[in-house]
A = this chain, B = another copy of it.
Amino acid sequence: MRISELARRGGVTTATAKYYLREGLVPPGELTSTTQAQYGEQHVARLRLVRALLGPGSLSISQARDVLGVIDDPGDDMFHALGAAQMATYGAVEDVDPSAALALVERSGWRVDPSSPEIFQLARALDALDDAGFTVPDVVMDGYIAAAERIGHAELEAMPAEPSAALRYAVLGSILTEPLLLVLRRLAEQHASAERFGQAPPRTPAAGN
């Protein structure tokens, strides 16, 4: 198919498809003349993936390029590749004191690399709550830890055995399911509230519009 068809099937404008090609997010098509190229189904799938990473996944162009680079060429060491792909999704971590984050990880009993960027992201998230004057009660923090563990175990259980499929699953699953998890949590809050107070929170007539 031509680029206009590729763009249509990928759900973007032709200008956007050209931009992703120029940025190397979508591999080039097969040249059929000096000014025309043909694209296949794998290009459509890739374009849709790029759109998901940039949209719901909230990655920047360069983060998406790094993540896709690792998925396309993971090398021999899957653990290393996974770390590299996840690191690509984090911005530079400023100077932040990791001690509260390390204490929380110790409390959770998790085996994690204390120098991993997630520790610094966690420190930043805790700082932001402090700054806002919001304290997460202990019982809630324990709930968050237990919930995160439940998720990690379920995800690992379903991980494909083949290394490159596993990598794709781990990286994309982690990035692309974030909006899903956050909205499930909001719905579960609604449900817990309904259970406790015997009604779902009423909505204005504009709800859903």
Contact = CB atoms under 8 A, between A and B. Distances in A.
Chain A interface, >50% SS class: helix
Nearest to A154: B143
A28 interface: no
Contact of A126 (B147, B180, B195): B180
A181 B202 CA distance: 26
Contacts of A204: 80, 83-84, 87
Interface in A100-133: 105, 108, 110-113, 115-122, 124-126, 128-129, 131-133
Copies of this chain present: 2
Contact of A158 (B118, B140, B156): B140
Nearest to A137: B158
Nearest to A79: B201
A201 to B, nearest CB: 4
B200 A132 contact: no
